[in-house]
Amino acid sequence: MSDPTLPSDGRETFAARFLSAEGRLGRRGFLGSALVLLAVAVVYDAVSAGPLQWITGWLVWPLLVWIGACLLARRLHDRGRNGWIAAVIL
């Protein structure tokens, strides 16, 4: 059975990986994606400072939390758990 979130070539798109909570995500994919998310957060925090961080932070940090919740929900699906547990964890 094919995964509907994958294109015909079998590779997952950026939106399917980071913006959707549907589907499953194995350990290696989760760890790699979590490291990318952490790197983006660290770079954003280092680059933006002062008023710029205050203004853009209202958009960037909720987006990063949403992406983290989606990744965690997909990993929980892979472990046979309900994705809503991600809300409790976060």
Look up the pTM and report it: 0.80
With contact defined as beta carbons under 8 Å apart, do 25 and 67 qualify? no
With contact defined as beta carbons under 8 Å apart, do 71 and 19 qualify? no
Element (H, E) at 63: helix 51-78
Domain edges within the chain: 24-89
pLDDT of residue 7: 54
Instruction: Say how far residue 20 (Cα) sits from the centre of its chain.
Output: 8
**Whole-number Å distance between alpha carbons of 90 and 87:** 5
Tell me the three state secondary structure of residue 76.
Answer: helix
pLDDT tens per residue across span 48-62: 888 888 889 899 999
